[in-house]
Structure 1
Amino acid sequence: MNATLATLANVTQRIRARSAATRERYLDQVQRLGRRLPGVERMGCANVAHAVAALPSNDKLRIVAERAPHLAVVTAYNDMLSAHQPYEAYPAQIRRAAHALGATVQVAGGVPAMCDGVTQGTPGMELSLFSRDTIAMGTAVALSHDVFDAALLLGICDKIVPGLLIGALHFGHLPCVFVPAGPMSSGLSNSDKAKVRELYAQGKVGRDELLKAESAAYHGAGTCTFYGTANSNQMLLEAMGLHVPGAAFVHPQDPLRSRLTDEAVRRALAIQARGSAPAPIGQVVDERAIVNAMVALLATGGSTNHLIHWVAVARSAGILIDWSDFSELSAVVPLLARVYPNGSADVNQFQAAGGPGFVIRELLRAGLMHEDVLTVAGPSLQAYGRVPVAAGEQGVAWQDLPPASRDPEVLRGADQPFSATGGLKLLQGNLGRAVIKVSAVPEDRHWVEAPARIFDSQEAMQAAFKAGELERDVVVVVRFQGPQANGMPELHKLTPPLAVLQGKGFRVALVTDGRMSGASGKVPAAIHVSPEALAGGPLGRLRDGDLVRVDARSGELLALVDAAEWAAREPAQIRPEAALDNGMGLGRELFAGMRRNVSSAEQGAITWM
């Protein structure tokens, strides 16, 4: 076994050993609940009557007398999110498809779904991370009716997919299929949009020009076309076998989209306990599926948010992972895709070049994914290395991809990758543990050593930039942005000014206990620093002017301060004015309990344990 394959095997075995006790307890629970009678046979008559009261009489007959399969739909539909707007019509389509197959459907519940693009840089963003666990709880509430044979989960964007998945895994005996809706058509390119943002940050264009550019980029129904958290979600679901194969990036208006949704109903019926290929989600999501998701994330340069979310997802299935696992895999997983912000292409170009199917096929060929895993499409990941096409009047078939990428500037095979490694590094030192994504960072910026400038909010950093105070080599430190402090908002508003400074030739880096997610790009950013400043983390010991080293080559995150002086320093406290709830009256106060109870970023920022 060569070193690359040995790493995959070693990381998987280490996770399996670390998780032995928690995974055993989880699977015992899955099996115990899976042995129960169907809900309408198990529950009291009044319970059953309530469950079917509003259904048409034919559906009542199917459920109660004929014991027909009964499917739940948990939907994150709203038309605030462009990606979720197409879901408005899905329940009716799913009912039609189920009825044609002799089954019944109920929308079991809806879950909240906030748009990070709308709330970016506003008080609403402080609810964003915690919306994940709120969605998980909403999913559990929906499924708590407990009369279902399988579930279809309708969600795409940032916290929605992890939340739905966490909630579903707490009903691990239930087979589940995720149903995507596809990306919006390409508009203004992501690179051109980024240029306008940088010009606006410098005051060279006005708000009208910026709004025009943003509106040309975000212009219709479907997922935003850059490779951020939402589209990374879709890649990971493909790698875990939780979609109909190849469903991720088919456009909402493509006729194939409707066929794939019908196919999701067929798959849900096939994998339910009385179907032809039972596959409860708690068995589908094992340590091999989690490793496959990690590998897919690294091979495509996906969102760093998943170093938080997939830790929580894994924990929901009794599986324990940490950032060391990601970092070790990253050292051997090649980068196969260049999609913005790791390149100029958008997800539509990625799909046209071969998309998730090409990536999965290449990783399987290279031995970098586990093939013998249970999926909603069968007991192998091979189907996810092919692409769906229309077949017959309403059906779907799958065909092989060409041997080579259709666009080698966007997607490459495992034998000729863009980079030999996934570009994700673990940083450690006297400032704590952090992660850095360098797949889009120029190689000469993988190491930055410069004096620190400390801020307690992104607004303070932006004000200093506008005042010209950062026109030098600098490590910008934005602290008190962790889960306990303010819900760990994404700090995308920092990207344009930092990019401007780097573009002027200064050596610049960001260090923060907050998030940057899939929109981080060419500026080196040590993010998710743990423990966070509010929890007594070492970022609180930093002072303006301290020399800080961010080194992705050696994995160092250091304050170059005399050890005795460092130990003697009292950690800074969050300033009273910064601690005030500027989100009061906008819902933030409802999440105070989550902020008090949340675990660290590396532990998944979990609020329910």
Structure 2
Amino acid sequence: MAEMHPVTARVTQRIIERSRSTRSDYLRRMDAARDRGVARAKLSCANWAHAFAGQTVADKLTMMGGKAPNVGIVTAYNDMLSAHQPFERFPEIIRQAAREVGATAQVAGGTPAMCDGVTQGRPGMELSLFSRDVIAMSTGVALTHDAFDAVICLGVCDKIVPGLFMGSLAFGHLPVIFAPAGPMPSGIPNAEKARVRAEYAQGKVDRQTLLESEVASYHSPGTCTFYGTANSNQMMMELAGLHMPSTAFVHPETGLRDALTAAAAKRAVELSRSGEGRMADVIDEKSVVNMIVALLATGGSTNHAIHLVAMARSAGVLIDWTDMDELSSVTPLLARVYPNGTADVNAFQAAGGVAFVARELAQNGYIHSDVKTIAGDGIHHYFKEPVLQDGELVWVDGVGETLDPDILRPAAEPFDREGGLRLVKGNLGRAVIKVSAVKPEHRVVEAPAVVFSTQEEFLDAFKAGELERDFVAVLRFQGPKANGMPELHSLSPGLSVLQDRGFKVALVTDGRMSGASGKTPAAIHVTPEAIEGGPLAYVRTGDIVRLNAETGELSVTTSDGDLKSREPVRPGEVQAWGYGRELFSGFRALVSTAEEGASVCFAADYGSGARKDHVDGDVNDRMVDA
């Protein structure tokens, strides 16, 4: 393998040093859990009998022997999510595979799994980000039975994989394998879907036409085929070493998918018997860096600027947006997948897929090769692809060269010399912007602010024709403490239409956009958020906002002096009830900032939410005083 890129090496070492205390504490706890011995040996006869009372006679006999490994399945199955519908069949595949190697498997518990595609623009979206921590806690509840020797997690979509990841790390003394379901077959081209959405936003087509387009796009079991948060999750689980190699983008309900699921079960049993591959060893500072780089190299979801922080923290690893920004500055963009191109993940996989990306990144020094994975030591296991030969599952070398240079390119000839996720900061706070899908001529916008407090205010102004000009939409009170930080994807069609008409437009918000962040420049996740007195609370319509993604600037110029001379605007009546929102008041009170991962799982670490200065540099450069 090539020598590590100096920036990757430097950032990794900084993360190791920063995380020394928290990582040591995490490993101490995992070592203590391991040293207490096999879980089933600690249960009393009554406890153990309860654990398998509902099993088949054959499984009961195996479990009564007290020596066979027992695999716990944590499933996010429901048939509301097309990506999770296939999981209905997976537990039986896993049980049968475990029996074939003298072990047992049980569904330890289920987690909620909401579909952001259903809740976009609706009140329920305010629970979306919080559902991640609920899933982490649900995973903890499932595994706290302490009756398992290994874990298989069934999840794919936006908040589900991060939540399963966080919850499983609380049981990191066990081997944990993630078994995805795979993408649905391709529907209509993504460009056609975007065109119909834009025409509907302008009133040029009716709702029936829009519905027909959406149904043609989202049409069968499997993950949505654009490269949003769900498919970004799968890329990261591959490079984290938690998948069977090249599992991510194999279609559901195929012989190969079923064989991979069975193989995951057998591998979990093998790891439990060998004592190797525990999650606490697979996920460390190097594997976290590999996850970040994989995300950047493929133009992945902006949501992971939040999720990755919380996920890493669950393993005692401390990262932030400065780390991501520095890695992005040197990570080559190897893939063009919608919304960063016209192809979908099926075309990406056909062009070379995960195995090609993993090999290119490793052989050119952008990721760490000397990592532990559930497939064995070394990232080289992920250069291979699974195939069925005479009904048997085998792994073969992935393609040596891209099969479509319009979709996938080698590190020596990338689409861009950087990953496209950038940190912007200034007197408006710290934020991230995804520029991999934004053309260079749109990356700098300086224009008057038009301030909104809700998505509906923006959409009403757009429909009324009040935004036919250069402007920066400042949408505040959308952060985690304000309303749970919903995605604001419903703004995308209107902003895209205005940009296409020749106006200089941008979005600045303390909310999220989505894994489908597209061609309009958007500074998102602004921290500190407005409801906590962050700078966005002081901005007025007409102030001049400058968003410069090239230099990393996010600032405002006012006509009446410094922002501090103004009184901060408070939100109007916050609708904190209905659609289950009243159940999450505690989350809104305790949640950490976006750059801290917007998590309640580690609320005690962050006190009232004040940001810890856990990186080198002046604290005043890291916190913005409004």
- Please give the range of the TM-score, normalised by the shorter of the 2 chains: over 0.9
What are the within-5 Å matches in structure 2 for residues 219-298 of structure 1?
219-272=219-272, 274-275=273-274, 278-298=276-296
**Counterpart in 2 of 1:314?**
312
Measure the CA separation in 1 of the matches of 2:475 and 2:419. Answer: 26
Of 462, 469, 490, 2:466 maps to 469
**How far does residue 271 in structure 1 lie from its aligned partner after superposition?**
1.5
Of 386, 389, 403, 2:400 maps to 403
Measure the CA separation in 2 of the matches of 1:488 and 1:519. Answer: 16
Give the secondary-structure state (helix, strand or coil) at the position aligned to 2:117: helix
Deviations 1:525-570 (A, max 9, x none): 0000001101111000100000000001110000022684322111
The reply on whether 1:602 has 2:603 as its aligned counterpart is no
**How far does residue 3 in structure 1 lie from its aligned partner after superposition?**
11
Q: Percent identity?
A: 58
**How far does residue 370 in structure 1 lie from its aligned partner after superposition?**
0.4
Measure the CA separation in 2 of the matches of 1:54 and 1:250. Answer: 33
Measure the CA separation in 2 of the matches of 1:3 and 1:560. Answer: 45
Deviations 1:64-85 (A, max 9, x none): 3251010000000000000000
What TM-score, normalized to structure 1? 0.97
**How far does residue 56 in structure 1 lie from its aligned partner after superposition?**
2.2
Of 487, 496, 500, 2:497 maps to 500
**How far does residue 2 in structure 1 lie from its aligned partner after superposition?**
11
Q: In the alignment, is the contact (CA less than 8 A) between 1:40 and 1:147 conserved in 2? A: yes
**Counterpart in 1 of 2:578?**
585
Equivalenced residue count is 602
Q: In the alignment, is the contact (CA less than 8 A) between 2:181 and 2:252 conserved in 1? A: yes
**Counterpart in 1 of 2:369?**
371
Deviations 1:67-126 (A, max 9, x none): 101000000000000000001011111111111111001100010000000001001100
Give the secondary-structure state (helix, strand or coil) at the position aligned to 2:594: coil
Measure the CA separation in 1 of the matches of 2:94 and 2:316. Answer: 31
Q: In the alignment, is the contact (CA less than 8 A) between 1:161 and 1:233 conserved in 2? A: yes
Could you tell which deviates more after superposition, 277-286 or 460-469? 277-286
Of 374, 378, 400, 1:380 maps to 378
**Counterpart in 1 of 2:609?**
none
Unpaired segments ≥5 residues, structure 1: none
Measure the CA separation in 2 of the matches of 1:552 and 1:66. Answer: 60
The one-letter code of the counterpart of 2:451 is: I
Measure the CA separation in 2 of the matches of 1:242 and 1:164. Answer: 12
Deviations 1:11-65 (A, max 9, x none): 0000000000000000011111011222222122221111121122322222232
What are the within-5 Å matches in structure 2 for residues 435-584 of structure 1?
435-561=432-558, 564-576=561-573, 579-581=574-576, 584=577
Q: In the alignment, is the contact (CA less than 8 A) between 1:4 and 1:332 conserved in 2? A: no
The one-letter code of the counterpart of 1:325 is: D
**How far does residue 398 in structure 1 lie from its aligned partner after superposition?**
1.5
Measure the CA separation in 1 of the matches of 2:64 and 2:23. Answer: 35
Q: In the alignment, is the contact (CA less than 8 A) between 2:510 and 2:530 conserved in 1? A: yes
Deviations 1:105-153 (A, max 9, x none): 1100010000000001001100100000000010000000001000100
Q: In the alignment, is the contact (CA less than 8 A) between 1:428 and 1:555 conserved in 2? A: yes
Measure the CA separation in 1 of the matches of 2:510 and 2:561. Answer: 24
Measure the CA separation in 1 of the matches of 2:6 and 2:557. Answer: 36
The one-letter code of the counterpart of 1:120 is: Q
Off by >4 Å, runs of 4+ in structure 1? 1-4
The reply on whether 1:198 has 2:198 as its aligned counterpart is yes
Distance 1:2 1:470, change over 3 A: farther
Distance 1:66 1:143, change over 3 A: closer
**How far does residue 391 in structure 1 lie from its aligned partner after superposition?**
3.3
What TM-score, normalized to structure 2? 0.95
Of 334, 337, 340, 1:339 maps to 337
Q: In the alignment, is the contact (CA less than 8 A) between 2:496 and 2:519 conserved in 1? A: yes
Measure the CA separation in 2 of the matches of 1:37 and 1:59. Answer: 22
**Counterpart in 2 of 1:38?**
38
Could you tell which deviates more after superposition, 326-335 or 39-48? 39-48
**Counterpart in 1 of 2:115?**
115
The one-letter code of the counterpart of 1:591 is: F
**Counterpart in 2 of 1:62?**
62
Q: In the alignment, is the contact (CA less than 8 A) between 1:338 and 1:344 conserved in 2? A: yes
Q: In the alignment, is the contact (CA less than 8 A) between 1:40 and 1:63 conserved in 2? A: no
The one-letter code of the counterpart of 1:215 is: V
**Counterpart in 2 of 1:28?**
28
Q: In the alignment, is the contact (CA less than 8 A) between 2:3 and 2:365 conserved in 1? A: no
Measure the CA separation in 1 of the matches of 2:4 and 2:533. Answer: 38
The one-letter code of the counterpart of 2:129 is: L
Q: In the alignment, is the contact (CA less than 8 A) between 2:80 and 2:115 conserved in 1? A: yes
Deviations 1:218-242 (A, max 9, x none): 0000000000000000000001000
Measure the CA separation in 2 of the matches of 1:78 and 1:402. Answer: 35
